[in-house]
Structure formats: structure tokens, C-alpha cells
């Protein structure tokens, strides 16, 4: 059989700091406090009794004091418990500490309030966690914004394909690469496949199918067609994600727009081909010059040399010698013309 319990003993051993207040509004004088409150404030229980509630928990002139006073009046008038969240205590309760406060009216047999029970719950850690969560959320939002900006600047975007739901999710940068807004994209694998160049669809579908079957990372180049008809080249990567049974459930990956690089490569290839053609043409011209040097120039040179030898060795009259001189002169002029042509061709190479 339980012995009769003294309510004061229960009040005094409650773990939450409590005050018993006289309903003498607006003073709300402290009639008593429990040991937990005395420990929190660092004051003896006798030093707390007789003071106003506001002077003990919040200070008379603070913003929190007005809220607490309003809550005590409300509890007294409506005879119902009132909750007040996260007020900052005064120096009695420790600077920088926050508390939730509950004000509960106690009534007698005639339903008259004979006291208010003010209970404090330390919310400092919860407030700190909430503030840190807000900071973390802000930093995460900023990081996401920065990542989005970096991806757009680098023409780089990431994606995810939920295989079971057949839902494709793109980063904002990837929408920019594809030249689409979110409302225009059919966010399914089939919707993605429609954006591929017709000549690439079967190849890319097979590559993805092989990756899912073998559960291996893949790298591939793909061509996409924007709504404007423009073709873009993407270097893409993919990784298969599996569940606890080893079954593929999703793919994640990224795409890098390499169109400019491909265009530059095409330009370089064209320039390289042009230079090769120029070199081949130069070689052809040089071969022609070499042929002229080795063949065309030999005839007038040999003829000139022969005429000179005849002129030296023959016993001819003046008219015959004059004829030989004329032939030698013609051969020399012919040789000069050939040499000039060779020089002109060489200068044009």
C-alpha cells in the first residue's frame, strides 16, 4: 500500500526547472522554486522566493519579458496552459541560453486559479542545431548554385536515370546543353533517346544495355539534335547503381559538350588536307622543273656545243662560218628562254 506522498516533495525533485507563481498580476510573484531551478540559477531557493517572475527568468525590460508577461496573463484569464518557445534567459539562467517555457494554471475546487506553474525546458542545443541546419541549408543552396554555374560555364551537366520508375533527371546545365526547357523534355529514357541523332540511337542504346547487363561503367560519344536542328557532340559517362540484390536500379552520369573541340578538329583536318595538297602540288611542279632541267635543256645545250665544235674544226668560208654563228646564237637564245622558264616556275612554287 502506497504511503501518502507530499506534493512538495514531488515538485522539488522534478528534473525540469520550475517556479510556483502567485497569480498577482502583473507582478506574478515567485512563491517557490524547485531544486532544479535553484541549481540552474545558482541562487538559493530562499533568494528566489518573493521576486517577480520576470526579474528571475528574463529581466523586466527585455522583449522576452513582454512575451512571457502576455503568456502568464493568457494562462490566468483562460485557465489553460500556454507554451512559449525559445526565449533567451537573463544572466540568472546563463547568458546565451535559450528555453521553452510552459505556464500551467492550477485551480481549486471552485475553479479559481490559486497559482501558476512555470516550467523551463533547455532549448539551447535544439536552437543551435536549428541554426546550424539553416546555415547548412544555405551553404548547400549556395554550393548547388555555384555547381550549376560552373557546369554551365564548362558546358558540363549531370544526369540520373531511375530504371524502375523510368524517370530521367537532368541538372540545369544539361538542359542548357540540349537547348531545352524542363517542360519540353519527356523525362524518360525514350524521351532522351528521341533527342539522339538517328544514326547514333541504336549504338547508344546497345552500349547502355551492355553496361546494365555487365554492370560496368561506360564512356561514349553521342550526337544530339537541339530543337533548332543544331547538332551537338557530347562526351558522356555512365555508372550503374545496384540494390542489395545486385540488380541495376539506376544509372548516374555526366555529359561534356565537345562540339567546339570537334569543330576545331575538323577545321584542323581541313587545313592539314589543304597543306598536304599544296605540298603535293609543289612536288609536282618541282618534278616538272627537274624534268625540264634533265631533258628539255639538254637539246639546245648539246646542239650549241656541237655547233661550237664544228666551228672550231671545219675549214669553211666566211659565209658558212656566219651561218654557224647564227645557229649557235639561236641555240643560246633557246637555252636562255628555257632557263628563264625554269626560274619562273621555281619562283611560283
| Residues belonging to the chain | 349
Q: Domain-by-domain residue ranges, the chain? A: 7-122, 154-257, 285-348
How far apart CA 178 and CA 195 sit, in angstroms, is 8
pLDDT over 90 percentage in the chain: 36
Domains 7-122 and 154-257 share a fold: yes
How far apart CA 219 and CA 236 sit, in angstroms, is 6
Q: Which CATH superfamily is domain 7-122 in?
A: PAS domain (3.30.450.20)
User: Which residue, among 59, 44, 247, 56, has the nearest Cα to 163 in the 3D structure?
Assistant: 247
Grid cell at residue 258? 565537345
Write out pLDDT tens, residues 37-47.
Answer: 988 888 888 88
**CATH of the domain spanning 154-257, picked from 3.30.390.30, 3.30.450.20, 3.30.365.10, 1.10.10.10:** 3.30.450.20
Contact 69, 21 (CB under 8 A): no
Write out pLDDT tens, residues 85-110.
Answer: 877 766 667 666 888 889 999 998 88
Q: What mean pLDDT, rounded, does the chain reach?
A: 81
Contact 90, 62 (CB under 8 A): yes
Amino acid at each position: 500500500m502506497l504511503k501518502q506522498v507530499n506534493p512538495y516533495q514531488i515538485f522539488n525533485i522534478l528534473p525540469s526547472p520550475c517556479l510556483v507563481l502567485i497569480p498577482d498580476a502583473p507582478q506574478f510573484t515567485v512563491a517557490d522554486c524547485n531544486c532544479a531551478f535553484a541549481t540552474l540559477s545558482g541562487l538559493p531557493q530562499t533568494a528566489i522566493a518573493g521576486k517577480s517572475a520576470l526579474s528571475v527568468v528574463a529581466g523586466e525590460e527585455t522583449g522576452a519579458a513582454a512575451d512571457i508577461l502576455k503568456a502568464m496573463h493568457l494562462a490566468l484569464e483562460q485557465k489553460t496552459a500556454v507554451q512559449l518557445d525559445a526565449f533567451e534567459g537573463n544572466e540568472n539562467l546563463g547568458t546565451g541560453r535559450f528555453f521553452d517555457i510552459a505556464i500551467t494554471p492550477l485551480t481549486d475546487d471552485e475553479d479559481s486559479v490559486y497559482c501558476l506553474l512555470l516550467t523551463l525546458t533547455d532549448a539551447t542545443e535544439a536552437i543551435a542545431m536549428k541554426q546550424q541546419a539553416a546555415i547548412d541549408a544555405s551553404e548547400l543552396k549556395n554550393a548547388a548554385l555555384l555547381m550549376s554555374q560552373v557546369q554551365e560555364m564548362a558546358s558540363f551537366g549531370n544526369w540520373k536515370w531511375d530504371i524502375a520508375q523510368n524517370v530521367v533527371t537532368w541538372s540545369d546545365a544539361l538542359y542548357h546543353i540540349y537547348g531545352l526547357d524542363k517542360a519540353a523534355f519527356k523525362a524518360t529514357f525514350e524521351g532522351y533517346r528521341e533527342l539522339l541523332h538517328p544514326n547514333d540511337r541504336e549504338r547508344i542504346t546497345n552500349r547502355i544495355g551492355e553496361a546494365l547487363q555487365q554492370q560496368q561503367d561506360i564512356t561514349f560519344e553521342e550526337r544530339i539534335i537541339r530543337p533548332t536542328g543544331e547538332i551537338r557532340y557530347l562526351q558522356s559517362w555512365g555508372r550503374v547503381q545496384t540494390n542489395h540484390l545486385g540488380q541495376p536500379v539506376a544509372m548516374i552520369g555526366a555529359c561534356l559538350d565537345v562540339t567546339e573541340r570537334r569543330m576545331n578538329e575538323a577545321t584542323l583536318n581541313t587545313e592539314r588536307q589543304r597543306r598536304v595538297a599544296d605540298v603535293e602540288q609543289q612536288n609536282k611542279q618541282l618534278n616538272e622543273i627537274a624534268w625540264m632541267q634533265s631533258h628539255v635543256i639538254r637539246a639546245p645545250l648539246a646542239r650549241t656545243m656541237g655547233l661550237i665544235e664544228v666551228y672550231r674544226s671545219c675549214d669553211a668560208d666566211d659565209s658558212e662560218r656566219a651561218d654557224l654563228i647564227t645557229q649557235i646564237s639561236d641555240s643560246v637564245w633557246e637555252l636562255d628562254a628555257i632557263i628563264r622558264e625554269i626560274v619562273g616556275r621555281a619562283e611560283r612554287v
